[in-house]
Structure 1
Amino acid sequence: MMAIWPDWQGDLDWVELPPGEFQMGGRDEDKFSSAVELPRHCVRLSAGFALSRFPVTCGQWRAWAGELPAANAARVADDLPVVGVTWPEAQAFCRASGGRLPSEAEWEYACRAGSDGVFPQGAWLDPAQANYGYDEAGRKVGRGALCPVGSYPSNAFGLADMLGNVCEWTADGWHAHYEGAPRDGRAWTEGALPGRRVIRGGAWDHLPRVLRASWRDWAEEDARWDNLGFRVARDGS
């Protein structure tokens, strides 16, 4: 599938992000924070970078590859985020479009957009702010499915769907803590567990606790989940 068009002639809607620093990881007052989000540490990004405003869509993937991964329903709408894409396939799309996957630190910096709380939106998350599945009592509150990208309010940087709808691949390998993590925003791959990559953001079928800015988990590089997509980063112009 990936060999059909090595270069993609389409266009992504880019958001330019400024250099900056932020506190990465879980907060002491966050009852849902876990050891994998610690220790909280300062990350300084000395250069700006760009991130696609939306996760990559089915229409964009189909224009590049000619067909959708099997995890996407038949005749799926072009404005839905593509899912069921493996980490190597996501990397290939990023390269073809002149970009790369964001590092985990870049992703969290972009998600927080200058905020420092558990949720960028405020003290808690409301179903009107993101596409997620259930409240913390297990009651269904969401749509129960993917929704078109940009259906919910963008963050302070102008990025849409950073939390909810689909989880997103990052460039980092999986480490079960932040001890020894880079402080400059680059992807952390040294010493990572082989074949595992960090995912971020939470999805349409998750609880609010998964849509926290610091939440992190991993997936095997060949995973084809129906709630896992990606967006594209590129170095600043």
Structure 2
Amino acid sequence: MAQLFPKKNPEAAKKLLETPDEKLTNVERDKKFALAIATTPMPCPMCFVKMSVIDAADDTLEVGGGDYNGTYVCPNCETELAKVVPFFMVPGTPGWHWQRKHPVPGKKMDNDRRNVSLQELEVLVAEHDTVTLLVTRAQRRIDLGVHIVVPEQLQLVTSVRLSAYLQAHGWTIDEAGSDDKHRTWRKSDGRVCYTHAEGDAEVMAGDVESVALSEGCSMLRVLVGLLALGPLT
């Protein structure tokens, strides 16, 4: 069978997938299997939109051929991705998942510490107070009848930043327990935490609490870690 470049010749790729195995040679069946894996969508760790290897690659990707030397880029958020094969196969997945290729950049001082602005510190303090309040209210430790004004969205606590924080701390996505709205994260020692693809301040506060509990640290430490990822956007 000739070389197969799915983006250059999508009709040939479609025809191969639709051809019954009994009508294919052994080589063609192997290429069909590789194509099926390459067309299986997996979620981007940053925006959670699902895409396949073919979606993220350029038109030089050859299925069943040589090594791919191009880049994988999420077509939704334009994050450069890396295709990662886990140590243990997760049932129900194609045997790989997406991971951000490069860490989220941040401004550095000469001593390699973050140069945090006064504005960022003010946001950190304000959002720590808000997150603490929301978690306390969710745990019914305060009078729910008391009117408290909280923002609908938080600046520092976002799904993208939480994903970047968890990846930087050695967490990986458990695809078997994740979908478009919810994300399950695991560590090699068996710890688990949960985040959402998006949500209001109440939801994001719960995610911070989940991360803090799983890391065995305070919510303030998680927020400081989010601040260390880089300037607020």
TM-score w.r.t. length of structure 2: 0.25
Relative contact order, higher structure (CA 8 A, sep 6+): 1
TM-score w.r.t. length of structure 1: 0.24
| Larger helix percent | 2
| Larger strand percent | 1
